[in-house]
Structure 1
């Protein structure tokens, strides 16, 4: 596909609903007793994988024309044995969190996924769950899908120190801890996104967070709630970078989630001198409007505790850094190697094709800028965030950029290219 060519962007965008919260709204709605209402659910492929999995487990989910969902919760022990393996599609979030949710069931359950998902390591979730007396095995005794969650009637609490920051691993443990007999402690070295902890509280659960130690005592019962999902800051990141690197441009992004564990992208933009304003803050729903304009950018170093707060945004931050004066260094981002693809190598490879001065390291990237980009043939690697990042890169050249596997973008943002075309000033290429 030939990417949209434009040198300026202007207008107002309302990005899709937050993917992390959309996943969890289904999960908590299914685990709670009563009817949960979800507004502004993200109808993207990953989240639909979660929705379909719970339907296959016997949960009644009603979809309304206005995008609202109603979920008839069955509690922690009310699932029905599925008649076939649960298909996770491309969703690592669904897979890893479901392992914790289904760790205590009276029947075997198999989780399958697409070719990309089947290459992603699951041992970092399997191992702590198996320490809690779950019994989860990968194909041929490996850590890869298809995964079998064997029937199990007991989960034990544990004390666990996270080896690396990962909201998905942490969440899987917390879902299992809700069903365990006793108190589970999870210690984080760096804080990762806390949507699971916040939604446990929202659904009437008891959880304590003291600095970077999380304490949860099971078993617990959850109560149905009304959930309104804010806009996804990870989706907004692509437009934030677009507005900052395009000349004579300004964008307004409405109703974007600003949960503090997710706003690392805003901190980096500020550090690099971006023309960014945060307005209309909605404290209750942790949302705000973001205004971004063309910016003179300075290089920075991105490392340590901020990494978990922007892990999904690092590919597009790397693009941002190609337009900053100086050398930007990204460290401590090993987590990127086990996403939809090895995002460290994929980001470096694709931006190099366009002329960027970028080098992959063991745990991050080194980017020298500012650098003019040119056209070329690029590949999404079937990774939605790589695909969207490359469309933003097209702002920086008048040459044609052709993208292989653009369909991957639909995993989190089905209408991304439509929205991008709408803000493009005199786009030279239509889809």
Structure 2
């Protein structure tokens, strides 16, 4: 079973040229944060372009359970009437975060400095993921967590009755951990300081400033130092959510490997802490251009033009780039399989603890389709077979992971034989219009038994 419904087997067939415009949904990371900070502001926040995938809808339900008044006004248009910093009430039920690691970790941070007890759970995938990386720093504020062995959900988090500000150095690059600490710091007196050796996506910092929080970012010998002054009165905002670069990755990468393709993906957020994939693709020789560059809602945005690129070659992706493209390594490996030479990806141990073990899931699935892969604890290498060289024909397993499912469906569009996946159901969590969008630009997908 998928996390939110029946199993959906799907087959991706070799495709003719992909063409047209691919209007991908709103950014998932920004959508989560807009709902949470809207719930922590005093007054009414209006949001347009919100991603209405299951992950984000679960966060909206959680904010309602804490006392925020939330209404859907139309497609992607939402109203959030917040309760203010420190105003969360204790929910009367378990907070089910479905498949969303981002959702559960950010919500934990937001409530950790309020004197309430909250029990969190999720689907089969989320309940295997480690939460100690968030609950450990939240305990420094005075919060207490009780969960299953290994710090896994279901888990009850008891917020601090008398929170104290903290100074915390993030041990591994993680925007989720950083953001959880910053959200907890909102209801702690004084200054909370977060230090990260490698910059991660900075949507939380940008949005906190937009809501009126006193926050500064400075580079130092220790790394990137973020200082937040606690207990502000957050002011409601009007937020236009840019389109999600992680979702754009799939039609973009499919176009690069399917002969004759030429597509436009408009309005994509190009925050420099999120754009590592596109930089890597261009280094590989991809015909990928930015058109109509602009700024929307404090975020850099552009229209992406992607054309078939048969001459791509493998590269060694700098480990320092991992934080800016951690969710895009699965689809990058699909492009790498269609390039010439080896693509080397190192410093990516975070992939082992995502919705699935993404290194193992992609390595086994690529091998099932005739591609040579080497892998280790925090690295993997894909040996490319050149344009049109992937045999395909394999059955792959999505492991309840939306990005694994979408990546192998893209592989099938350029392979010599169809690629089957056991379950496309998890795609609904982040990209609910993936199937009709891809079909609209020429992909041939069908729902078939395995």
Fold-level similarity (TM above 0.5): yes
Superposition map of 1:368-407 within 5 A = 368-370=383-385, 371-407=389-425
Deviations 1:142-178 (A, max 9, x none): 4111111114212222222111100000000000111
Hey, what's the Cα distance between the residues in 2 that align with 1:183 and 1:80?
A: 24
Deviations 1:200-258 (A, max 9, x none): 00101111110211111212221100000011000000111111111111110011111
Q: Which moved more, 1:48-57 or 1:130-139?
A: 130-139
Task: Give the 3-state SS of the residue equivalent to 1:223 in structure 2.
Answer: coil
Task: Give the 3-state SS of the residue equivalent to 1:179 in structure 2.
Answer: coil
- What TM-score comes out, normalization by structure 2 length? 0.92
Deviations 1:397-431 (A, max 9, x none): 24232211110111101110111111116x48577
Task: Give the 3-state SS of the residue equivalent to 1:222 in structure 2.
Answer: coil
Shift of 1:133: 1.6
Q: Equivalent residue for 1:161?
A: 169
Q: Equivalent residue for 2:208?
A: 200
Deviations 1:237-290 (A, max 9, x none): 011111111111111001111111100011101110100110011224421100
Question: Is 1:225 matched with 2:228?
Answer: no
Shift of 1:3: 2.0
Q: Equivalent residue for 1:334?
A: 349
Is contact 1:245–1:294 with CA below 8 Å preserved after alignment? yes
Hey, what's the Cα distance between the residues in 1 that align with 2:65 and 2:10?
A: 38
Q: Equivalent residue for 1:210?
A: 218
Task: Give the 3-state SS of the residue equivalent to 1:138 in structure 2.
Answer: strand
Shift of 1:67: 2.8
Moved over 3 A (4+): 427-431
Hey, what's the Cα distance between the residues in 2 that align with 1:386 and 1:412?
A: 12
Is contact 1:384–1:409 with CA below 8 Å preserved after alignment? yes
- What TM-score comes out, normalization by structure 1 length? 0.96
Question: Is 1:280 matched with 2:271?
Answer: no
Hey, what's the Cα distance between the residues in 1 that align with 2:374 and 2:16?
A: 26
Shift of 1:327: 1.1
Is contact 1:16–1:413 with CA below 8 Å preserved after alignment? yes
State which of 213, 220, 238 in structure 1 corresponds to 2:250.
238
Q: Please, which runs of 5 or more residues in structure 2 have no aligned partner?
A: 1-8
Q: Equivalent residue for 1:344?
A: 359
Is contact 2:196–2:225 with CA below 8 Å preserved after alignment? yes
Question: Is 1:187 matched with 2:195?
Answer: yes
Is contact 1:7–1:397 with CA below 8 Å preserved after alignment? no
Q: Give the 3 Å change call, closer, same or farther, for CA 238–428 of structure 1 in structure 2.
A: closer
Hey, what's the Cα distance between the residues in 2 that align with 1:421 and 1:197?
A: 37
Q: Equivalent residue for 1:414?
A: 432
Question: Is 1:319 matched with 2:334?
Answer: yes
Hey, what's the Cα distance between the residues in 1 that align with 2:445 and 2:68?
A: 47
Hey, what's the Cα distance between the residues in 1 that align with 2:49 and 2:26?
A: 6
Q: Equivalent residue for 1:24?
A: 33
Question: Is 1:249 matched with 2:258?
Answer: no
Hey, what's the Cα distance between the residues in 2 that align with 1:151 and 1:420?
A: 44
Hey, what's the Cα distance between the residues in 2 that align with 1:179 and 1:94?
A: 19
